[in-house]
Structure 1
């Protein structure tokens, strides 16, 4: 019966670092997306308020 060879601790350490980096990049991307969506929502709300409070042109 074959058994897996014990992995070298260095390999496990490298994998752990890679997973941590990947998680960090994923969290940064999610954070950036949330900030972007909030900025877009704020702009949309500001545009709505600007449209609602604009003075009516005198020629209309």
Structure 2
């Protein structure tokens, strides 16, 4: 008898079916791990870009400030 991916003979799963499900679960775990890693890398890249934008904005603010720093005004 054949049901979906399972091969059943007299109510007992065959060994190949067990191996298939272990590999399938391992594949899902690897996919989830890759997604988490990609999300972390993406988050790091966004964070670094935000920091770079802030640093550039600080430089522009300092360069275009009409009152020099430390002038006491």
Higher helix proportion (structure 1 or 2): 1
Give CA-to-partner distance per residue, 1:5-56, whole Å, 9 cap, x none.
9961000000000000000000000000000000000000000000010012
Between Structure 1 and Structure 2, how many residues are aligned?
Answer: 60
- Greater relative contact order structure (CA < 8 Å, 6+ sep): 2
Q: Which runs of 5+ in 1 are unaligned?
A: none
TM-score by length of 2: 0.68
* TM-score (norm. length: structure 1): 0.81
User: Aligned Cα RMSD in Å?
Assistant: 4.9
Q: 1:59 to 1:13 in 2, by over 3 A?
A: closer
Structure 2's unaligned 5+ residue stretches are 1-11
Question: Residues 44 and 57 of structure 1: is their aligned pair in 2 closer, same or farther, counting only changes over 3 Å?
Answer: closer
